[in-house]
Chains A and B, each alone.
Chain A
Amino acid sequence: MAKSNKPIVWSLFAGGGMLSAFVTPVLIFITGLAVPLGLMSLDSLSYDRMLVLAQNPIAKIVLFAVIFLPLWHAAHRLLTTLHDLGLPKGRIAMTLCYGAAALGSIAAAVVLLRI
């Protein structure tokens, strides 16, 4: 049997899973709870501050990572869950799931590069 090339998607899935588990809850807490509820200053997410953040090359890389890796994680998880539920492993499901993640990744990269 030939060795599989699945490590490509699986490494994105695994990396995205790690970020989703450790970083995403914190981001949701800050953007969705702490700032709106006034636990942190409203100013901390202001447009000007975010713009400066997104202009920094290192911050661009971090922002790209927290967007694109969880997208691949979600795409792979959705695909395997659909398979668990009995959907045959077809090209259509694969193209839709991974295609959405790829489009999202490209969009994130383009937007970040243009800031």
Chain B
Amino acid sequence: MTEPTLQVEILRYRPETDQDPAFQTYTVPYRDDWVVLDALNHIKDNIDRTLSYRWSCHMAVCGSCGMMINGEPKLSCHAFLRDYYPNKIRVEPLNNFPIERDLVTVTDDFMEKLESVKPYVIPKQERAVDEGPHLQTPAQLNTFKQYTMCINCLLCYAACPQYGLTPDFVGPAALALAHRYNLDTRDAGREQRQEIAASNEGVWDCTFVGECSQVCPKSVDPAAAIQQTKIASTIDWYKALLNPWGKR
């Protein structure tokens, strides 16, 4: 019996030789426990060594292998061939990012935005080691825990129509992480993050399409984080209006 196979159509782009990106089709063995990343590894190891793509953990933790799979942003380690077989699978680099090479995108824009929201605990006062750990109750942890699950895979940026239309938009993952630290009881950096988050390019460019939360492989729900930030920023705005002498 011949082994079943599956066709994978990959958008290739090698800047030193190709004018424009173009599709190349490969035939790979079909196994029902294989994911798209296994198919790519099979191609790389056995058919075409020149294929470039990012991956690391193969278990939806590292966030490296995000790609457009049949037009949907997905982690290629999370997309089973059996959900597409016997149809052809089309694999493209993530939407809304420039292509560096084949399935590898240039993510500098996101990295700058992520840094701009200061995604780390900014304590009010440095805590000395002999003061012991900063305790947090399970309830306090629960307020932000889901937002800590972000793996920066950028599927939300590829899914967001606003990021595609308005490249200055800070975007879902960075805003969700800003919210995560704002909610943390150990943190006092909200005012600094609001400089970015409460600007036009921050939460206000979001039109609540909600695709970011649909595609998130870690159920972070960035759309909810952004809407909560909109409410908090609106309360700030009215407070500043009613009390112009108060703390800005």
A-side residues, CB < 8 A to B, are 1-8, 10-11, 14, 80-81, 83-84, 86
With A5-B237, A80-B208, A83-B162 already in contact, 11 other A-B pairs whose C-beta atoms are closer than 8 Å: A1-B195, A3-B195, A4-B198, A4-B199, A7-B234, A10-B230, A11-B234, A14-B231, A14-B234, A84-B161, A86-B165
B186-216: CB near A (< 8 Å → 1, else 0) gives 0000000011101111101001110000000
Q: Assess whether A2 is in contact with B199, with CB atoms less than 8 Å apart.
A: yes
Taking a contact as CB atoms closer than 8 A, the residue among A1, A10, A80, A84 that contacts B199 in the complex is A1
Who on chain A is nearest to B170 by CB?
Answer: A1
Q: How far in angstroms is the closest Cβ of chain B from A17? A: 10
User: CA of A11 to CA of B236 in the docked complex: distance in angstroms?
Assistant: 12
Contacts of A2 in B (CB 8 A): 199-200
User: CA of A14 to CA of B232 in the docked complex: distance in angstroms?
Assistant: 12
Who on chain A is nearest to B234 by CB?
Answer: A7
Contacts of B202 in A (CB 8 A): 1, 4
Contacts of B201 in A (CB 8 A): 1
Contacts of B238 in A (CB 8 A): 7, 11
User: Given the known A-B contacts A7-B234, A7-B238, are A84 and B198 also in contact in the complex, defined by CB atoms under 8 Å?
Assistant: no
Ranked 7 nearest A-B pairs via Cβ: A1-B199, A7-B237, A80-B207, A7-B234, A6-B204, A4-B200, A3-B198
Residues of chain B at interface, number, CB under 8 A: 22
User: CA of A1 to CA of B195 in the docked complex: distance in angstroms?
Assistant: 6
Q: How far in angstroms is the closest Cβ of chain A from B96? A: 14
User: CA of A94 to CA of B233 in the docked complex: distance in angstroms?
Assistant: 22
Q: Assess whether A83 is in contact with B207, with CB atoms less than 8 Å apart.
A: yes
Contacts of A80 in B (CB 8 A): 207-208
Contacts of A14 in B (CB 8 A): 230-231, 234
Q: How far in angstroms is the closest Cβ of chain B from A81? A: 7
User: CA of A3 to CA of B236 in the docked complex: distance in angstroms?
Assistant: 10
User: CA of A6 to CA of B194 in the docked complex: distance in angstroms?
Assistant: 14
Contacts of B195 in A (CB 8 A): 1, 3
User: CA of A42 to CA of B11 in the docked complex: distance in angstroms?
Assistant: 66
Q: Assess whether B209 is in contact with A84, with CB atoms less than 8 Å apart.
A: yes
Which among A7, A8, A81 has the greatest number of chain B C-beta atoms within 10 A? A7
User: CA of A42 to CA of B238 in the docked complex: distance in angstroms?
Assistant: 44
Taking a contact as CB atoms closer than 8 A, the residue among A4, A81, A83, A86 that contacts B204 in the complex is A4
User: CA of A81 to CA of B209 in the docked complex: distance in angstroms?
Assistant: 9
Who on chain A is nearest to B116 by CB?
Answer: A1
Contacts of A1 in B (CB 8 A): 195-196, 199-202
User: CA of A11 to CA of B234 in the docked complex: distance in angstroms?
Assistant: 7
B149-184: CB near A (< 8 Å → 1, else 0) gives 000000000000110010000000000000000000
B30-72: CB near A (< 8 Å → 1, else 0) gives 0000000000000000000000000000000000000000000
User: CA of A4 to CA of B200 in the docked complex: distance in angstroms?
Assistant: 5
Q: List 16 A-B contacts (CB under 8 A).
A: A1-B195, A1-B201, A3-B195, A3-B199, A3-B233, A4-B199, A4-B200, A4-B204, A4-B233, A6-B200, A7-B233, A10-B204, A10-B234, A80-B208, A83-B165, A84-B209
Contacts of B234 in A (CB 8 A): 7, 10-11, 14
